[in-house]
Amino acid sequence: MSTPHEAQEPERDGAQVSTGTTDQGESAAIPELVIISGMSGAGRSTAAKCLEDLGWFVVDNIPPELIAPMVELGARSQGNVARIAVVVDVRGRRFFANLKESLATLDAQNVKRRIVFLESSDEALVRRFESVRRPHPLQGDGRIVDGIVAERDLLRELRGDADLVIDTSSLNVHELRAKMDAQFAGEEVPELRATVMSFGFKYGLPVDADMVIDCRFIPNPHWVPELRPFTGLNEEVSGYVFSQPGSKEFLDGYTELLRIVAEGYRREGKRYVTIAVGCTGGKHRSVAMSEKLARRLVSEGVETVIVHRDMGRE
C-alpha cells in the first residue's frame, strides 16, 4: 500500500461519500478515482506505480467496500488528495458481490470514476507465472491455466464495463508505463482519447480493441514487387492503397461513423477508444489506413495515438 504521510486511516462507519464542507467551511471536492483491475500477471502493479509517480494516491489490494470511505477521506483532505487510484483484484475474495455494490454507491454519489483493465493472453500469463515460479491465485490444486480460466470468468463483467483496456501480452514494463503516461499524464484531461492500431489478422485480433476495421477488401500491395519491401508509411504504398476502388469511400464512411460514435462516447462519459485496423500481415493496407484515419480523428478534435502492432514482424 502506498500512502502519503499526511493521509489518515479512513473512517469505516459507512460507504457514503460526503460532498459537504471542510472544517474551514469550504466546499469539499470529491477526488477523481481510478480503479485498476485485470488479470493476475498482466501488469496491475506496474500500472499502479505509474500513477503513483504521476502524483496519484495509490492503494493496492483494497477491499471494495473501503473504496467509498477512501474517497470520502480524500474529499476531507482540503485538496491534498485530489486523485485516488485503487487496485482491486481476485486476492480480495468475494470479489464481484462487494465491488458491484461499491460501484453503485460511488455512482449514486456522482463520483468521477474510471476503470482500467489490464489484459494479457493465456500464453503470456502462463509464461510469466512460470518465470517467477509462483502459483496463480485461483489455480488451487490445478494448473496455472485453470486459474487463468477461472479468473477470466470472474472478471468478464468488469472487463466489459472498463473505460480503458490495455493488452500487455507483447509489452514490456517500459512500454506499459508509456501507455499509462499517455493516458494520465498532464493537467488537462481531453474529452476523448483514441488509439488507432494497425495489425495483421494472421497474428490474431487485438484483445483490447473496441472496434475492428477490416481492410482486406483492398488489393494487397504485397503482390506488387516494387512495393512489397515497403510499409504503409511509404507514400507510394499509401498512394497505391487509396487509388483502389472503394478505399477513399471507405475512409470517408468510417470517419463519419466514428464521428457519431465519438459523440456517443462523450455523452456516456467514455474517454478512451481503441480502433484496430487490420489487413493480412499488418504491413501495408492497415498501416496506410490507420495513418489516414488518425489524421481525420485529430482534425475532429480527438487526441489520437497511432500504434503499428505488427509492422516489421514478418
* Known binding positions: 38-45, 89-92
Count the alpha carbons within 13 Å of 85 in the hemisphere toward its beta carbon. 25
How many residues are present in the chain?
314
Q: What are phi and psi of 260, to 5 degrees?
A: -70, -45
Binding site membership for GTP: which residues? 89-92
Residue with cell 519491401: 229
Q: Which residue has the cell 480524500?
A: 74
- Strand order across the 303-308 sheet: 211-214, 272-279, 193-200, 303-308
CB 253 within 8 A of CB 281: no
Would you list which residues are annotated within the binding site for ATP?
A: 38-45
String of DSSP letters for 108-174: HTT--EEEEEEE--HHHHHHHHHHHT---TT-TTS-HHHHHHHHHHHHHHHHHH-SEEEE-TT--HH
* Alpha-carbon span 251 to 294, nearest angstrom: 11
Distance CA 232, CA 277 (A): 12
